[in-house]
Amino acid sequence: MIARKGARAEVKLAVSLREGYHVNSNTPSEDYLIPMKLTWNAAPLEVEETIFPAAKLEKYDFADKPLSVFSGDFEILTRFRTPASAPTGATVLTGKLRYQACTSSMCLPPKSVEVRLPVDVR
């Protein structure tokens, strides 16, 4: 990603779930559910916003109400702002995507995957 000083830059993180699995969205319908979260160690950039796709409301046998989930292939957009004072040159930002996946009958423990984003600050 090219990040120009004093400007915005954005990146889309592509997520692909195995068929039959879903993850809780970033805004789960029930308090007990673990939300999907994307966090960045963004320095020298700053995270302006993270935008998740529209969640699907799906009904599963194990829940009374439809649950707010993501499934299949989707993207998470992060908008960064590059301060004018950011040092010029190449760097790598790291992020962490935390999620908790289930099928219609079982769940897997929450996991975090590290995301590495090479950035060229100009």
Residues binding another protein (CB under 8 A): 30, 32-34, 60-63, 67, 100, 102-103, 105-110
Q: Nearer to another protein by C-beta: 25 or 78?
A: 25
Residue 118: partners with Cβ closer than 8 Å, 6 or more residues away: 1, 90, 91, 92
Written as six digits, the tokens of 113 are 């995957």
Q: Nearer to another protein by C-beta: 55 or 93?
A: 55
Q: Nearer to another protein by C-beta: 35 or 83?
A: 35
Give the nearest distance from C-beta 34 to another protein in angstroms: 5
Give the nearest distance from C-beta 51 to another protein in angstroms: 24
Give the nearest distance from C-beta 33 to another protein in angstroms: 6
Q: Nearer to another protein by C-beta: 7 or 63?
A: 63
Residue (of 120, 107, 93) closest to 39 by Cα position: 93
CB atoms within 10 A of CB 88: 10
Cis omega (within 30 of 0) on the bond before 44?
A: yes
Give the nearest distance from C-beta 38 to another protein in angstroms: 19
Residue 44: partners with Cβ closer than 8 Å, 6 or more residues away: 82, 83, 85, 86, 87, 91, 121
